[in-house]
Structures are given as C-alpha cells and as structure tokens.
Amino acid sequence: MDIRVQGPGPTSPFLSARDLFETEQDLSLPVHVRLRDDPDERTWAAHYDDHHVLNISRQAASSAMARELALHEFAHMVRHEQQHPSHTQSTEEVLYLALAGKSVERRKLSHCYQIANHMKDIYADDITLSVGPGEKLLSFLESSLAAAVADRPETPSRPGFQRLSASADPEITAVNAAFALALAERHDLVDEEHRLYDLAYAAAMDAPEIDFDGFKRRFRELVREPDTSTYRQVLVDATRSYVGGTSRAAD
C-alpha cells in the first residue's frame, strides 16, 4: 500500500495502520492522507480514478483512535475498489424508490442518509475487525451512544413549553443504538452484561415509534456478499421503516 501524508502532522498512525492492514488486505490505488486544521473535521474517505483520499483533522490524527480511524477508512477504500453494492448503490435512488409519493421532513431525509452510511460502515467494519482488535471501536461506540442518550431532549418543566437548545434526536439516536449493538453482536464484541445494552435500550425507550429490534436485526444480519438487487431492497425497506407512512411527494 502506498500511503502519502500531506501536510504537517503525525504520520506514525497511518503507517502503523497500513502495516496492520496489509496482513489481510491491500489497496490497488495510493492513499493520500490530508490533515485538516479544523478539529471538528470528520474523518472520511474520497475516491478518484487514480487514488483515494483520507481526510482527517490533525486533532483526530493525534488521538488514541487515529490508527483505528485509518483502518476503518482503508476498509471503505477496499469496498470501493471491490465495487461492493454497499459502496456503489446510490442513496438518492433508494430514497426515490422508498419514498415516492410521500411527504418527508428534511430532518428524516437526512437521517435516511445516515442509515445508508451505517450499512456502509457495517460492511467496512467486517474488514476492519478482520485485521485488528475491536476494543477501541467498542469503547468509541459506547461513549458516543452514552453522550447521545445523555443529550436527549428533557421533559419540559411546564406544559406547552418545548426545549429549543440543540440535543440528540431520539429517533435517529435509537437507530444509531441499534447499529452500535448490531455491529458489536455481529463480531462478538460484547457479552450480555455489557453497558452497551443498557444504553441501547435506554435510547430505544426514548423513541418507541422506532422499530429498534427490527433495525438491530437488519444491521446485524446484513448478508456478507449481497448482490446489487438484494442490497438495494434491504436499504429501501429500512428507509420505509424509518420514515413510516406519509403521503404526497417528498419535499
């Protein structure tokens, strides 16, 4: 694997991730690592005809999770090179198939993209967890879910009043919890006493309208090597389940 770190910052996490990744996987195209100044920059991969790009903040690149973040993005790059359905299926096409004739809040539309990203992450982490341990990933899932559950909207202190400050959306938090638990169960990262179960069920209770068990089952039981049609249908079904029954054209 050809790794090229661009910009001042740490290089060892990416080289260490490469060395570990190469024990089980490989990439045909070089990887350009772009270190970003913005500490809030999310870590993400972009794909071009002759290279991949790993975008990551310098803060994240200096964190204890840096190697694991790089491994995860390398796995996305492998799925892209494999032309895996999870990484080639257009989310816009799925939304059209699932929601044609329905009126959908913009908030829920953005959540549908997040559900599609969760499915991509499941398939990427099938690779990630085949080359490296899952302890840090599990800790990350637990801490992220704990923060979201703690940030859920509070019950208004007086009737007719609504909390207006930013907080985690209970509906997508429940889906995120289903994803976290499904990924952990898919790779046997947790036992029945793990705190992730308590956090996930707390999130599910906050959003009773979400089919938590259904989403967990969908994520956990994704077919390892689906064909395009099968994968598209799973994502269409998940989108319809999340949005629920509405009418008229989508906004």
Q: Are residues 101 and 210 in the same domain?
A: yes
Tens-place pLDDT, residues 194-224: 999 999 999 999 999 999 999 999 999 999 9
Q: Tell whether the model's pLDDT for residue 153 goes beyond 70.
A: no
pLDDT of residue 167: 55
pLDDT of residue 31: 97
Whole-prediction pTM value? 0.89
Q: What is the domain extent for residue 50? A: 3-65
Percent of the chain beyond pLDDT 90?
82
Q: Give the Cα separation of 76 and 84 in Å (integer).
A: 10
At 72, which helix (H) or strand (E)?
helix 66-82
Q: Give the Cα separation of 180 and 164 in Å (integer).
A: 27
183 part of a folded domain: yes
Q: Are residues 144 and 228 in the same domain?
A: yes
Residue 181 structure tokens? 């638990």
Cβ–Cβ under 8 Å, residues 47 and 77: yes
Mean residue pLDDT of the chain comes to 90
Q: Give the Cα separation of 158 and 177 in Å (integer).
A: 29
Q: Give the Cα separation of 36 and 59 in Å (integer).
A: 9
SS3 at position 194: coil
Tens-place pLDDT, residues 81-92: 999 999 999 999
**Which of 22, 42, 127 has the alpha carbon at shortest distance from 14?**
22
Q: Give the Cα separation of 3 and 143 in Å (integer).
A: 30
pLDDT of residue 41: 80
Q: Are residues 35 and 105 in the same domain?
A: no
SS3 at position 208: coil
pLDDT of residue 162: 37
Q: Are residues 228 and 111 in the same domain?
A: yes
Q: Give the Cα separation of 189 and 119 in Å (integer).
A: 18
Average pLDDT over residues 30-50: 92
Residue 103 structure tokens? 């009126």
117 part of a folded domain: yes
Q: What is the rounded (10 degree) CA torsion for 170, 171, 175, 177? A: 10
Q: Are residues 49 and 147 in the same domain?
A: no
Which range is most confident: 34-48, 159-173, 210-224?
A: 210-224
Q: Are residues 144 and 232 in the same domain?
A: yes
Q: Tell whether the model's pLDDT for residue 154 goes beyond 80.
A: no
Q: Give the Cα separation of 119 and 134 in Å (integer).
A: 18
Q: Give the Cα separation of 148 and 142 in Å (integer).
A: 10
Q: Give the Cα separation of 88 and 229 in Å (integer).
A: 12
Q: Which residue has the tokens 């359905």?
A: 85
Pick 244 or 90 by higher pLDDT: 90
Pick 245 or 232 by higher pLDDT: 232
| CATH number of the domain enclosing 8 | 3.30.160
Q: Tell whether the model's pLDDT for residue 249 goes beyond 80.
A: no
Q: Are residues 208 and 148 in the same domain?
A: yes
Q: Are residues 209 and 141 in the same domain?
A: yes
Residue 47 structure tokens? 């794909």
Q: How many domains does the chain have?
A: 2
> In the structure, what pLDDT confidence band is assigned to residue 152 with cuts at 50, 70 and 90?
low
Please report the beta strands in the chain, taking only residues with DSSP state E, as ranges in sequence order: 3-6, 31-36, 44-47, 52-57
